[in-house]
Amino acid sequence: MILLVDHNLGGHAEILLGTIASQGWLELLPIRFVTFKEINLSINSSDRVVWQVAQSSQMILLTANRSMKDEDSLEQVLREESYATSLPVITISNPDRLLEDRVYRNLWVDRILEILIDIKNFIGAGRLFVP
């Protein structure tokens, strides 16, 4: 499974991937984090564009701060463009705590692994706040 890492979560993703790898999950479950830069996506892209790119490329968007305020906000996009076949968006509820608190980080990793292992049950779910 490929996760598109929002432009402001690069360091978070490295720590998360390291935690996942240290637990041996990468040997069992193909997980890859992809950055905006790797897919030539501008960090100034609207939420709509980011979501559309993620969906068309079969990537799960990993974010922490996509907006809820305008016509191109992630919430509006999900209302307008999300279908029963859409991959979910995973939102880190507390990104600062993720960096600072190993217990919280492990809870996050456990939850993300549950989602990825059982992704069929989360298709069409819209937005998931983790943990």
Domain ranges of the chain: 2-130
What whole-number distance in Å separates Cα of residue 71 and Cα of residue 76? 6
How do the pLDDT tens digits run along the chain, 131 residues long? 999 999 989 889 999 999 999 999 999 999 999 999 999 999 999 999 999 999 999 999 999 876 667 888 888 999 999 999 999 999 998 999 999 999 999 999 999 999 999 999 999 999 999 88
State the CATH architecture for 2-130.
3-Layer(aba) Sandwich (3.40)
Task: Answer yes or no: pTM beyond 0.85.
Answer: yes
Burial 14-25 (b: 16+ CB within 10 A, else e): eebbebbeeeeb
